[in-house]
Amino acid sequence: MLKIGIVAEYNPFHNGHLYQIRKIKEIFGEDVLIVVVISGDFVQRGEISFLDKWEKTHASLGCGVDLVVELPLYYSIQNAEIFSRMATKILDYLGIDIQVFGAEEENIEVLQKVLELQKRQDYKDKLMEYMKKGNSYSTSQRLALKEYNLDGIVKSNNILALEYMREIENSNLKIKPYIIKREISEYNEENVSEDREEFASASFLRNELEKILDKFSEEKFDFEKIKNSIIEKKCSFLKDRGVENSKEIVKKNYNFEKKQNIREKIDLESLKNVKTEERIFLKLEEIQKFLPEKSFDIIFKSLEWKINNRFSGDKIKEEIFKIVKYKILTEKIMEIYDITEEIYARIYGTMLNSQKYIEFLKNTKSRNLSNKRVERIILNILLNIKADMMDFEINYVRILGFNKKGQEYLKEIRENNKIENFNMENNFQKKNIFVNWKDIEKSGNFEIQENFLEKIKVEKNGFLIKELILGKKEKLNPIVCLD
Binding site, annotated residues for ATP: 7-20, 102, 157, 182
Q: Is 17 exposed, middle or buried (0-12, 13-18, 19+ CB in 10 A)?
A: buried
Residues in the chain: 483
Q: Show the CA angle centred on residue 356, arms to residues 355 and 359, nearest 5°.
A: 100
Rg (CA), the chain: 23
Contact assessment for residue 95 and residue 413, using Cβ atoms and an 8 Å cutoff: yes
Give the chain's end-to-end CA distance (angstroms, integer).
20
What CA–CA distance (Å, rounded) separates 86 from 13?
Answer: 21
Q: Cα–Cα distances in Å, from 4 out to 18, 95, 197, 267?
A: 15, 10, 28, 41
Q: Which amino acid is at 188?
A: N
Contact assessment for residue 138 and residue 153, using Cβ atoms and an 8 Å cutoff: no
Mark the binding-site residues, compressed into ranges.
Answer: 7-20, 102, 157, 182
Q: Is 439 exposed, middle or buried (0-12, 13-18, 19+ CB in 10 A)?
A: middle
What CA–CA distance (Å, rounded) separates 401 from 12?
Answer: 17
